[in-house]
Amino acid sequence: MRKPDWLKVALPSGENWRRVSAVLERRGLHTVCDSARCPNKAECWGQATATFMVLGATCTRGCRFCAVERAPAGESVRAEEPAELAAAVAELGIRYAVLTSVDRDDLPDRGAAHFAACVRAIKEADPGVRVEVLIPDYRQGEIKSVLDAGPDVVAHNVETVERLQHLRDRRASFAASLHTLELAADRAGRSGRPLVKSSIMLGLGERRDEVLAAMDRLRAAGCRSLVLGQYLRPTAAQVEVAEYLRPEAFAEYAAEARSRGFSAVVAAPLARTSYHARGSFEGERGALEGEPRR
């Protein structure tokens, strides 16, 4: 299926892009921008922003839509990674840091303690830096250490509607993801922090009623921020695209999400969980909802 014009992106270029690349390489850090072949890399790196990927670049799961390298076990956990990460955030002048990770089912706590150490290192180096974490489907006990570290936003993606969950690794499920979000929302309580966030990819063959039902269940779980983006096939090894939705369709879904009580909505063909993450957090006004990427 040929990609429509609205999905065309620029190639990475410019001084900021080279600077981000150099800092990451020197400090031995990974980004999801590279590992997941994110279409927004040129824009984000050009603005000296990046989504850091901790716990290595090898995932222990095998979702059919993902291009991240996979294996039964990941790399050895780098004890120096939290300090290197905090130093990179300071060096790049980042005021809103987004951290994600591969799934590490090979580790006793699936990497939660290391994830928490990364959050603490950034906060201790500069308490003014906001930190958003995009976490695996951590369970009770695992997620506590991450929440105790004090992230400002906790995101976990259901990825797709319930009927299409078979496209994820067999160890993942819609119910397990909702439980992770519920645990984060319970911590938020009356304060509303951390902000709880999730994302749905569109174009995998989902029906409109299924998307709306997923929105309702996310709201019931305490999710207040929602991202809707177009699924793009990374390589021929991943599942094919069933449909390319027009920007107008994303605008309509954004309006539906707002009517269901989401306080922050980012919905556009190239939207991803961390795309415009800072603006979504700071305003929670959904200023970017339905906005086609220019």
- pTM of the predicted model, to two decimals? 0.86
Q: What are phi and psi of 225, to 5 degrees?
A: -125, 135
At 102, which CATH number?
A: 3.20.20.70
- Please check whether residue 51 is in contact with residue 100, taking contact to mean a CB–CB distance below 8 angstroms: yes
pLDDT tens, 37-89? 544 444 544 444 568 889 998 999 999 999 889 999 999 999 999 999 999 99
In a domain, 30, yes or no: yes
In a domain, 2, yes or no: no
Banded pLDDT at 278 (limits 50, 70, 90): low
In a domain, 68, yes or no: yes
In a domain, 290, yes or no: no
pLDDT recorded at residue 43: 53
pLDDT tens, 145-160? 999 999 999 999 999 9
- Please check whether residue 53 is in contact with residue 73, taking contact to mean a CB–CB distance below 8 angstroms: no
Kindly state the average pLDDT of the residues 2-17.
69
Write b or e for each residue in 52-67: b if 16 or more Cβ atoms lie within 10 A of its Cβ, otherwise e. Answer: bbbbbbbbbbebebbe
Banded pLDDT at 92 (limits 50, 70, 90): confident
pLDDT recorded at residue 29: 82
Banded pLDDT at 90 (limits 50, 70, 90): very high
In a domain, 255, yes or no: yes
In a domain, 1, yes or no: no
Banded pLDDT at 190 (limits 50, 70, 90): low
Structurally, the chain folds into a number of domains equal to 1
* Full domain range(s) for residue 93: 10-283
> Which residue matches tokens 């990427």?
293
Angle of CA points 265, 65, 37, to nearest 5°: 75
**Angstrom distances, CA of residue 37 to CA of 11, 30, 65, 180, 283:** 12, 12, 12, 26, 28
In a domain, 198, yes or no: yes
In a domain, 50, yes or no: yes
Write b or e for each residue in 106-130: b if 16 or more Cβ atoms lie within 10 A of its Cβ, otherwise e. Answer: ebeebbbebbbbbbbbbbeeeeebb
Average pLDDT score over the chain: 86
pLDDT recorded at residue 291: 41
